[in-house]
Amino acid sequence: MYSEKVIDHFTNPRNVGEIENASGVGTVGNAKCGDIMRVYLDIDDDGVIRDCKFKTFGCGAAVATSSMATEMIKGKTVQEAMKLTNKAVMEALDGLPPVKVHCSVLAEEAVHAALWDYSQKKGIVIEGLEKPEEAEEQKVELDAE
CB 51 within 8 Å of CB 118: no
42 SS3 class: strand
- Residue 20 CB, shortest distance to ligand FES, in Å, is 26
- Residues 6 or more apart in contact with residue 144 via CB below 8 angstroms: none
Residue 110 C-beta: closest distance to ligand FES, Å: 11
Q: Which residues are catalytic?
A: 33, 103
The site for ligand FES (CB under 6 A) is made up of: 30, 33, 35, 58-59, 61-62, 100, 102-103, 106
Nearer to ligand FES, 35 or 42 (CB): 35
Decide whether 28 or 115 has the Cβ nearer to ligand FES: 28
Least Å distance, CB 69 to ligand FES, is: 13
CA distance 122 to 24: 9
**Residue 48 to residue 89: CA distance in whole angstroms:** 20
